[in-house]
Each structure stands twice: as structure tokens, then as C-alpha cells.
A and B are shown apart, each in its own frame.
Chain A
Amino acid sequence: MTVTGSTIPAVSRGAGSFAFFRAVLRNHPSFALGYAIVLLVVLLATFAPWVAPFPPEFADADVFLQPPGWPHLLGTDATGMDVLSRMIWAPRIDLSIAVLGTLLSALVGSVLGALVGYYQSVRGLARLAAGFVMRAADVLQAFPVFVFAIALVAVFGQSLQSIVLAIAFVNAPIYLRLMRNQAMSIRTMRYVEAAWLAGLPDARIIVRHVVPNAMAPVLAQLSVNIGWSILLTASLSFIGAGVKAPTPEWGSMIAMGYQNIITGQWWSSIFPGLALAVTVFGFALVGSSIEVLSDPARRRRLSGRLTAARGAA
């Protein structure tokens, strides 16, 4: 171990530090692009009331379906609402739903997964319960995802909370499986056995030793999943089972403009879809950067390459 330790270049010693992060971004411009997109969207959503040129739900019937130009930079939709302003307001809804839904599913899924993974190798009632949870997850995942999500929204009633719940429901099995696999392998580690022998209660072992060591893949999954949840939110709104117009939301904006595309007024649908795609793309890039950074082997290779590059320069 000491041999590999000495070959780890100086950069990686402060591996969690800002300098390392900046070096990675310089070497991987696509990661930097991802963080820039996510940051931009979050900033726009936060400061929407000050950035957007028009109120998002203000319909000026005199200027409906205006092509992009002045003063409506990206045109207006069929009811005369400013497309750009609504696009800037939309991530407030889309991001909040996606982030809340994903966090909720990650929380519930990981806690259940850690418990199931930890207790699956024990005999008795705990094992039975663990098996039951896994079979239930099987049945949930056997459903067509989209129809399932719509049905959930229909059951809970069409509101923001039910969309969040539906997204959490659909995503939870992913985290359940991820965490369970991690917990099962961590459970056999020496340090867990040592903690158990030292007389720590199970709950304490799970919280202090199992969960922190199993978090890396969950974190990488989170970012990708937020992007995916934004897509799902927009899809639900597109078919009319999600956010209702005139609340500014990308999916329902695309749905509102979709009749006009055939007659040539493309802007009220195409621009929101573009914003949606760029945002999801940004979250996917951030996800792949986390995947690289949280994998020790790839991280070491990366920092090795970085010092090599610096030495050459």
C-alpha cells in the first residue's frame, strides 16, 4: 500500500480541495459545461421575478402568436403570453418537483435498502420482511412506468404534491436496489464485524458504518435521476396529468404550442423543449462527473493525468 501511496501525485493529496476540482474542470470541459448549465438554471429560477421581462401568466390578447422579435424576444404563445418569461419561470416548478421527488425517493429507498441489505443475511422475521420488500419492489417495477405515474397522480388528485409523490414512488426501487447491494457487501467487511463485536446496536452500525460507505453510487445516481425526473414531470404535464396551464412549466408549454406547430408557429413549443433538453443534459453531465470523482480508481488515474499534463506544460 505504501508503494501506491508514494505514486499518488501531490494534487490528489488535497483531493477534495477546490484546486483539484478546478483542475478537473479545466481538463474536462464537458463537466464544466454541466455545472455551468445547472448553475445558470438554478440562478434563473431563483431570480426569475427580476430577470423575466414580462409577468409569466400575463396574457396580452393583442399580441398572440407573435414570432420572436422585439419586445417579445422568443415570441408569444397562442394566448399572448411571453414565451421567454415563462421559460425563465418554468424551472421553479420543474426543478422543485424533480429535486423534491428524487430526494424523497433516495431517502426512502436508501433507508429501506440499507435495512434490507443489512438484515437479509440474518435468519428469522427480519429476513422475511426483507424478502417481502424486495418482492414488492419487483411488482412495482413490473408496471409500465409512465402509466403507473399517471395512475398515481390520478389516485392522489392532480396537485404538485401528487406529482412529487408519483416521482418518488417510481424512483424509489432504484435506490432500494442500489443501497441493498452496497449494504450486503459492506456487511461482510471486517470493520462492521468489529463494530458488532464491540457491542454497537444494529441501528448505530447502519447509520455510522454502512450508510456513509455506501453513499457514492447513490450520489452519482441522484444527479442523473433529477434530470430524468424533470423529463417525467414535463411528460406528465404534456399529456395533461401534471402541472396545469397557465402555470409556467416546460411540458405544458410544449403541449400548449403543439397545435400551432403544424401551421408553422414553432417558437412557443420548440424553445421550452430546448430549455428542458439543455437542463437535463446539464444534470446528466454533472452526474457523470460525480461518477468519475467518487470512484477512487478513476479519480487516481485522473489526478495522475493532471499532474502529467502540468509537468509537460
Chain B
Amino acid sequence: MTLLPYVGRRLLFVLPQLVGILFVSFLMVKLIPGDPAVLMLGPFATPDSLAKLRAELGLDHSIFVQFLIYLGKAARGDLGFSWQTTMPVTTDLAQRFPATLELVTLGLLLALAIGIPLGVAGARYRRGPLRAAADYYGLLAGALPDFWLALVLIYVFYTLLAWAPAPLGRIDLSILPPEPVTGSLLIDSLLAGNWETFQNAAAHLVLPVLTLGLINAGPILKMTQATTERMLDSDFSRYAELCGLPHGIIVRQAFRNALPSVVTIVSVLYGFLIGGAVLVEIVFSWGGAGQYAVQGVLNADLNPVLGFVLYSAVLSLVIYLLVDLVYFAIDPRTR
């Protein structure tokens, strides 16, 4: 199978899929009780001004016409305004999406750093305390609510030990954020050569990243352990063992063969966390994309929700494409 036609075929399916997802979310958010015009103008608005605003927002058309209008604007890069922040959704998301991405990416990197070594070790030594610890860790990580773990970490490292900064955003209020280039505070402050800002942003990242990393190491560990174990039990590993290869090499080979499923679970987690990290974002007042969408849903603010769904759908599609490219790189059978 060659790469380019494959990618092309994938992209062909993307557009109808996106429109479908957008349409369902459009219908759903429209079904949420609450008239944006009333919410925007307050309870004392005159019927005239309400009608005028409804006409301006296009609310007097049928729902299908409204959706078509939205699609037409979206194709030109206009995702409308959020009436809560009174800013264009694209501007809001340009600020908030990188915040979430930075958090989720670092969290998953930490999860990989915990989950993979533990998983491989658990597959290699099947009896004994290490395996038991790995098994229990996997179950526990799946049982802990992430927002609660975040609170425990805040209590220990902020309230008791005062090692971490206050859980009030990505950076101290007294520090000027760097000129946005990529949207990631870490990268931007390095680009600006501002070491102090970098340290401050990094300090704010520690606890939320630790929370996400500790929780999400669970599924990565389970997947790594299960697949590596299966690979160690398969014929090629037995053959290698019979040939007298050292155990370390056999395990390394088995892990290499287990990599595709690890990559898969990481991509699934990534897609999930873009919206799923919202609880951790709330606890740390992170101001991320998930928080923005949840506020939109709770306040019948249509455009931010649609914008968020669109962005995260596109992002997951990009991630799945990347994953396929990674498969090409690590699995010779797909070439």
C-alpha cells in the first residue's frame, strides 16, 4: 500500500464526517432550552429589540437554513461570536486551544514515561511484587477521579508544603505573558528568551501535568503489559529464546511488536483528553478549550460549542492520520 493515495482516500471521507458531526452538535445545542436573544438582552428587553436581535442572529430562519448559513460562514473561516466573551470564537479558541494542547501533550508524555516501563517490566516478570504493583496501579488509576487527585495534589503541594504556585491559571498575574507565537507559554517564553516567564509557566504546569500523567498512565500500562505479554508468548519470541538470545533482547523485540497498539491507545487518549481534561482545567482555572465549551453548553452559547467540536474533530482526524503514518514507520507489514 502506498502512502499518498491512502492519505487522499482518508481525506475524502473527512468532509462528510465533519459536516455530520457539526450537524448533530448544531441540532443538539439548538435543543437546549434557553433563548440566546433573551439571555443577551436581559429580562427587561422590549419585544421589538428581541425580534431585531433574533433577525440579526438569523434565529428567525428554519433550523436547516441556520445550519447552512453557519456552514457557509465556517467555510470562510468565520465561526461567529460568543455572546459571553463578546469575542469571535476563532480568537477565543486561538487562545484556549493551545493551553489545552500544552497541558494534554505534556500529561500524556508523562503518562508514557510511567506506563511503558512499568508495563514492559510487568510483562517480563509475571510473578512477584513488581507485577502485583503494576496490576494494582492500573486498576487504581482507572478508579481515581482526576479532579479529586488534582485537589489532593493541590492540598499537599500548595497548601501544606507551599512548593507549587496557586492553582489560578497558567502563569502568575504579575507576570506578563510572552508574545503569542505558538500559543504554548513554554515555547513562546523560550522564543522570547525570557527565562523567568518560562520558569513561572513551568511551575504552573507541574501539578496539572502530574494529575493527567498519573491517571492516564493506567490505560497505557495495561495496554503495554497485555500486548507485550502476548508477543512474549508468541512463536517468534519462543524461537528467539530457543536460539539462546539474551532475555533483554527478546523483551525489546516483543515490545517493538507491541508498539502499534500502544500508539493506538495514546491517540485515543489524546482525542478523549481534549474535552476530557476539562475537570482538571476547572480545578486549576486553566482557561482551556474544554472549559470554554462547557461554559458554552451551560449558557446556551451556541458558537463556542460548535467551534470547539469542530476544532477537536479536526484535531482528532489529524492525530489519527499521524498515527497511521507512525504505523507505516514502525510496522513493516503495512509497507
The segment from A38-46, A204-212, A230-238 found at the interface with B is: A230-238
A23 in the interface (beta carbon within 8 A): no
Q: Which of A261-291 contact B (CB under 8 A)?
A: 261-264, 266, 269-270, 273, 276-278, 280-281, 284-285, 288
The answer to whether A254 touches B298 (Cβ under 8 A) is: no
B199 in the interface (beta carbon within 8 A): no
With both chains docked as a complex, state the minimum distance between the C-beta of A139 and any C-beta of chain B, in angstroms. Answer: 5
With both chains docked as a complex, state the minimum distance between the C-beta of A133 and any C-beta of chain B, in angstroms. Answer: 14
Contacts of A231 in B (CB 8 A): 143, 145
CA of A273 to CA of B155 in the docked complex: distance in angstroms?
13
Q: Which of A121-180 contact B (CB under 8 A)?
A: 139-140, 142-147, 150-152, 154-155, 157
With both chains docked as a complex, state the minimum distance between the C-beta of A211 and any C-beta of chain B, in angstroms. Answer: 28
Q: Which of A87-116 contact B (CB under 8 A)?
A: none
The segment from B19-27, B86-94, B233-241 found at the interface with A is: B19-27
CA of A234 to CA of B166 in the docked complex: distance in angstroms?
25
The contact of A151 among B152, B283, B305, by CB within 8 Å, is: B305
Query: How many B residues touch A, CB cutoff 8 Å?
Result: 49
The answer to whether B152 touches A146 (Cβ under 8 A) is: no
Contacts of B28 in A (CB 8 A): 151-152, 155
A217 in the interface (beta carbon within 8 A): no
The answer to whether B33 touches A235 (Cβ under 8 A) is: no
The answer to whether A284 touches B142 (Cβ under 8 A) is: yes
CA of A270 to CA of B271 in the docked complex: distance in angstroms?
29
Contacts of A277 in B (CB 8 A): 140, 143-145, 148
A240 in the interface (beta carbon within 8 A): yes
A227 in the interface (beta carbon within 8 A): yes
A241 in the interface (beta carbon within 8 A): yes
The segment from B69-77, B256-264, B309-317, B321-329 found at the interface with A is: B309-317
CA of A4 to CA of B146 in the docked complex: distance in angstroms?
47
The answer to whether A239 touches B29 (Cβ under 8 A) is: no
Interface range for A: 35 or more
Q: Closest chain B residue to A234 by CB distance?
A: B145
The answer to whether B159 touches A263 (Cβ under 8 A) is: yes
The answer to whether A147 touches B151 (Cβ under 8 A) is: no
The answer to whether B139 touches A285 (Cβ under 8 A) is: yes
Contacts of B274 in A (CB 8 A): 144
Contacts of B31 in A (CB 8 A): 155
Contacts of A241 in B (CB 8 A): 294, 297-298
Q: Per-position contact with A for B228-272: 1 when CB-CB < 8 Å, else 0?
A: 000000000000000000000000000000000000000000011
CB within 8 Å of B: which residues of A? 30, 139-140, 142-147, 150-152, 154-155, 157, 227-228, 231, 234-235, 238-241, 251, 254, 258, 261-264, 266, 269-270, 273, 276-278, 280-281, 284-285, 288
Q: List 27 A-B contacts (CB under 8 A).
A: A139-B20, A143-B21, A144-B312, A145-B275, A146-B279, A146-B290, A147-B278, A147-B309, A154-B297, A155-B28, A235-B279, A238-B282, A239-B278, A239-B282, A254-B151, A262-B166, A264-B160, A266-B159, A269-B148, A270-B148, A273-B145, A273-B152, A276-B145, A277-B144, A280-B143, A280-B144, A284-B142
